[in-house]
Amino acid sequence: MTAQIDAIYRSESRRVLATLIRVLGDFDLAEEALHEAFFVAVQRWPEDGVPDNPRAWLVSTGRFKAIDRLRRQSRFTPLLEEQAEALEAAPWSDEDVEDDRLRLMFTCCHPALAADAQVALTLREICDLSTEAIAHAFLATPSTIAQRIVRAKGKIREAKIPYQVPSRAELPERLDSVLRVIYLVFNEGYSASAGADLTREDLTLEAIRLGRLLLELLPEPEVMGLLALMLLHESRRPARTSASGELVLLDAQDRTLWDRALIAEGCALVEQALTSRRFGPYCLQAAIAAVHAEAPSAGETDWRQIVGLYDVLLRSVPSPVIELNRAVAVAMEQGPLAGLALVDNLLQRGELQDYHLAHSARGEFCRQLGRFDEARRAYEKALSLTQQAPEKRFITRRLAELK
């Protein structure tokens, strides 16, 4: 039974929390109610059995626990009794809970909040990422992320930011932050920042689900581009690790394991988005992924086209990480020496000194050039920076080969 409750927590807790925030109108109160509801479930379900609709049961239990908590605290703060009475009198239904996380996402991405706070809050509240994982995504410290989240919650409470999907007129200004959130959620699932597993399928599928919901709400080219990008990357997931869980690089992947249905859907979305001529960075990244997906083998990849797409992407969104990806593509087209020059320039600028993939790429280029001492130092630096077990094992194998 404990394992079953744990599974329900993993699959339902974020949905339950989003609905509780809608019902209770307060982040902190909803989080306390969520934990109390699961505490009651651990006590009752082993004897009573799991309810037919665990999500509705948890929301209902959490709501009652929140009302009880407010009434207990009203002895010291009388206004809380009025809040408890209002919550008890307000009707609620579990018929419309599927979109609660989308409503919550737009609340978290309200323009009254700082951009980084929008993303951090959404990743924490909707997807249950730890502050450490969010910090890794932001290249920031956990304490900085925690402060952003606390300030964002306070701003929502003080400004009485509504819990709703904005009107169509308001959507465009809110869209960039929402897309960024979904993209970071997918990235954390596609390449987990830490832990024993390379990927977290629950996060990639959640990001794709949110992307589909957003496309239904707002069929804009960049929404199509982001969904296409996620589908094309997700199509390769079965081939990215071996049967024993070891990392398999793109050029060594068994392409028969790639999900052709996801590739077809993703490529169709890319084509539809690009024909609009109103595309942006997500469409361009999806186009790069489509070139990889359509290549029959690694050796038949059109690297010149990929470098050209990266050039356009960099003009749209200057980024050292995109420059690093372009350097890898240049190395595949022109050779490791050309790639090494670009990576060395990036590292000398200092922007990617703490990014393990930059040092790993340098190690690979040096290895291919026979500069084994430099390769070893670069791989050792990458090993010291990565927190993911499969990547650690991969780099350790590379170092063993150099010896």
Q: CA–CA separation, 100 vs 154, rounded Å?
A: 20
Per-residue pLDDT at 130? 86
Name residue, tokens 């990617």: 352
Q: CA–CA separation, 136 vs 142, rounded Å?
A: 8
Pick the CATH number of 2-89 from 1.10.1740, 3.90.920, 1.10.287, 1.10.3470: 1.10.1740
Q: Is the dihedral of CA 122, 125, 130, 132 positive or negative?
A: positive
Q: CA–CA separation, 148 vs 152, rounded Å?
A: 6
Does the domain at 326-403 match CATH 1.20.1560.10? Answer given as: no
Which residue in 245, 233, 243 sits closest to 198, CA to CA? 245
Q: What is the pLDDT along the chain (403 residues), one digit of tens a residue?
A: 678 888 889 888 888 998 888 888 888 888 999 999 999 999 999 888 998 889 989 998 998 888 888 887 766 666 666 666 666 666 666 655 557 877 888 888 888 898 888 888 988 888 788 888 888 767 688 999 999 999 999 999 888 888 777 777 777 777 888 898 899 889 888 887 666 666 778 788 888 988 998 898 788 999 999 999 999 999 999 999 888 888 899 999 999 999 999 999 999 999 999 998 888 999 999 999 999 999 999 999 999 999 999 999 999 999 999 999 999 999 999 999 999 999 999 999 998 999 999 999 999 999 999 999 999 999 999 999 998 888 999 999 999 998 7
Query: Where exactly are the structural domains of the chain?
Result: 2-89, 326-403
**134 and 165 in contact (C-beta within 8 Å)?**
no
285 token code pair: 């990244």
Q: CA–CA separation, 19 vs 25, rounded Å?
A: 10
- Number of residues that make up the chain: 403
Per-residue pLDDT at 116? 84
Please give the DSSP secondary-structure letter assigned to residue 194: E
